[in-house]
Amino acid sequence: MGEPLLNLTNVVPAMEIMLDDFGFGLSKRRVTLSTSGVVPRWTSWAT
C-alpha cells in the first residue's frame, strides 16, 4: 500500500510501533515504507 506522505504525523508513530521490540518487533531490514511520491512532501521527510 503506497503512502503519499500526506498522513506523515500518523505514519511515523505507526512505523515506530511496528519496529519497536515492545510493539510488533519487526526487523528494520524487512520493513519498507512505499510512497506514491507527492513531491512537496519529500522535503519534510528528508529533513
> What is the per-residue pLDDT for 2?
61
Residues 28-39 have pLDDT tens digits of 898 887 777 667
| 21 Rama sector, left if φ>0, alpha if ψ -120 to 50, beta otherwise | alpha
Q: Is the predicted pLDDT of residue 9 greater than 80, yes or no? A: yes
> What angle separates helix 39-46 from helix 8-19, to the nearest 10 degrees?
50
**Is this prediction's pTM over 0.75?**
no
Q: What is the mean pLDDT of residues 11-37?
A: 87
**Mean pLDDT for the chain overall:** 80
**CA distances for 17 relative to 22, 23, 28, 32, 36, angstroms:** 8, 5, 12, 14, 22
